[in-house]
Chain A
C-alpha cells in the first residue's frame, strides 16, 4: 500500500482549527471585558450624577479642614489641601515602612539563626515565638499592642521616667531631641564623605582581593569612616548641637521628640509579625546550603566564623533574597492596617478621611491603589536587580 503524499495541511473544519479557535476565544474575551467596562463606566456616571458627586481631580486643591496628628512636612488644618494631606499620609506610610523593614530584618535574622542554634533553650524559644506570631492575625496583634499594652501604660502624671529625660506614658514616648546650630553642616558633610569613602574602600579592597587574594579589614575601616569621621568633625566644629530635653508639666510634656503611641503600636506589631516570617525565610535559606559546603570549608581549615561569612551566608542569601523581597512588600502593604489604630498613614488619611469628606470614591481608591502598586513595582525591581547581581553564575 502506498502512502498518499499530503499536499499542504489536512483540510479540517474551521471549527476545529486551533488558530481560528484561539483567535475566536480572544475576541470573545475582549468583547466581554469591553462590555463589562463600558457598562461599569455608564452605571458609575449615572449613579454619581444621581448622588450629585463631582468626578475628576478638582478636589486635590481644595482645603482639607481636618487636622493630622503626625506630619513630616508642614501642614495645617486651615491651609492644608487634600493634595497636601495625601503627601503627609504617603510620607507617614513610607516612614513606618522604612523603619519597620530595617528592624524586622534585624529581628528576623537574629531569630532565624537562633532557631538553628545548638542551644536547646534558645532554639525552642525562637521556635515558640515564630509559631505563635505567625498563627495569630496581624490586626489582632496591633490591637493588642495598642489597646492592651500602650493604652494601659500609666497616664501623664505617673509617667515612667527613664534616665536621660525619657518619659513613657499612654500619650506616647518622649525623648531628648538634638537641635543643630551653625556648623552642623560640617558634620553632615563628614558623614556623607565617610559613606562615600567606605564604598570606595570596599571596591578597592574587592579589586585587590580579586587580583592578589589579600583581604582587607573592610568592616572596621567602613565603621571608622562612617562613625569616626562625623565624630571628629563634630568636635572640631565645636559641638554644634544641643539636646532639647522634654519637660514634664502638670498637663503635658513640652519639647523634645514625641513619638505617638499609634506609631509605636504599628511599628511593634509590624516588626514582630514580619520578623517571624523573615526568620523562617532565613532558616530555610541557611538550611538550603548543603552540609557538604560546611564540611568542605572545615576541610580546608576555615574556622566557624569565616565559614559562615565566606561560605554559608553568601550562598544562603541567594535563596533568601526573593522571599525576603516578598516580606518587605508585605510589611509595606500591611502598614495600611494603621487605619485600625489611628496612625495617620496614606489609607487612614486618604481612603478614610478624604474619601468620606469628598465622596469621590473612584478617584481616591484608584490613587491609593496606584501608590501601593508603584511601591510594589519599584521594590521588586530594585530587589530583582540585586538578586540578578548575586545570582549563581553557572557555566
Chain B
C-alpha cells in the first residue's frame, strides 16, 4: 500500500489542525447535571424524588416552626406559653427549659454544694479528653487517672466526707444529668474489666469457669434490663444481711454494671476470636504464662479491633440509663418528666418541649460517641490497607 502523507492530498474541506475539546454539555455537569443524575434519572427516580420532597415538606417546616418561629424564649411561668388571641400558634416553650435547667442538671442536689458536681464534671471531661485525644501526652497515666483517681475522688466529692469539711449529700437528692452521667460512667468503668474476665472465662479450658461465665452471660443477655433492675432493686436487699442493705442508687448501679458486663463480655469475645492462633502460639513459644500472654499480646490487639463495638455498647448503655427511673431514681429523663407535669408550667406544648430538649441532649452525646467510633474504625482500617 502506498504511503501518503497528510499533505500530499490537500482537500480544502479537511481540517489541518485538531479542534480544542468542547466543554461537556451543560446537562451533564454542574448543578443541572447533578440533579439529572441523582434525582431525575428515570421515571421511578422522579417518583421517588417527588415522594421524598413531599415527606420533607411535611416534616421539616413544622419542626422548624415549632422549635424556632413560634417558640417562646422567655417568661416566668405557664402564662408565657399559653396560646392567646394575637398568638394562636405557640411552639416550643423554651422559657420552661431555661427555668428548669438547673434542676435538669443537678436534680435536688443542695444548691450551695453544686460546685462539687461541677468539679466532678470537669474531672470527668479532663479524663475523657485525655483518653480519647490520640496525641495527648502520657495516655497511660490518663487511664490510671480515669479508672482509679477519678472514681475515688468523685465518690468522696459527691457523697461528702465530714472530716474534710464536705457535707454529706444523700443519694436520694442526686438527680438529672448528674445521675445519668454517674450511672453510665459506673457502667462503663466496671463493665470493661468484668466483661474481659467473663469473656476470658467463656473461652477458658476449665469447665467450671466456662460454665459459670456462660450461664451469667446468657442469663443476663436473655432478659430485659428492666427485670435486671427489678432484681437488683427488690431482691438484692433480701440477699444481704439487713444491716448492709445497699442504698437505692447503689442497687441500680449494681444492676447496670451486671447488665453492661454481660454485653461487653460478648463484644470482647468477638475480638478475642478474631486474633489469629499464631499470636497465641507465638506468645506461648516465648514462654509467657497465661496472664502475661493475655495482658501483653492478646488483649491489646483484641481490644484495639473491638473499640468501635465497645463504643457502640457504651452508646446503648447511655441510652439504657433512662430505665433506672423504674426503681425510683431521678435521672435526667425523670427530671424532665417531673417538670413537664408541674402545674407551674402546664401549657399545651410543655411536654413536647421537654422531650425535644431531652432528645437533643441524648442525641448530642450518642451521635458524638458514634462519630468517634467511626473515626477510630477509619484510622484502624488505614493500617490494614494494602
Contacts and interface: CB of A to CB of B under 8 A. Distances in A.
A369 B227 contact: yes
A25 B240 CA distance: 26
B352 A148 contact: yes
B67 interface: no
A101 to B, nearest CB: 16
B363 interface: yes
17 contacts: A29-B209, A47-B237, A119-B48, A125-B56, A135-B363, A135-B370, A137-B333, A137-B362, A140-B355, A140-B362, A143-B333, A147-B351, A336-B224, A351-B227, A362-B238, A365-B227, A373-B223
The secondary structure that dominates the B interface is helix
B209 A136 contact: no
Interface string B193-223: 0000000000001111100100000010111
A373 B219 contact: yes
B125 interface: no
B230 A143 contact: no
The secondary structure that dominates the A interface is helix
A119 B45 contact: yes
B355 A143 contact: yes
Given A372-B224, A373-B222, 15 more contacts: A47-B242, A48-B238, A135-B315, A135-B363, A135-B367, A137-B320, A139-B322, A140-B322, A144-B355, A336-B227, A337-B226, A365-B227, A365-B230, A368-B223, A376-B222
B224 A47 contact: no
B206 A26 contact: yes
A135 B362 contact: yes
B169 interface: no
Interface string A36-74: 000110011011101000000000000000000000000
Interface string A124-165: 010000011011111110011001100110000000000000
Contacts of B51: 122
Q: What are the 5 closest A-B residue pairs judged by CB atoms, nearest first? A: A135-B366, A121-B52, A40-B239, A361-B234, A137-B319
Contacts of B207: 26
Contacts of A337: 226, 323
A347 B326 CA distance: 11
B292 interface: no
A77 interface: no
A361 B56 CA distance: 49
Given A122-B49, A131-B367, A144 B359 contact: yes
A339 B326 CA distance: 9
Interface in B286-325: 315, 319-320, 322-323, 325
B333 A369 contact: no
Contacts of B319: 135-138
A364 to B, nearest CB: 9
B279 interface: no
Contacts of A95: none
A148 B355 contact: yes
Contacts of B276: none
Contact of A136 (B227, B238, B326, B366): B366
Given A122-B48, A122-B52, A26 B320 contact: no
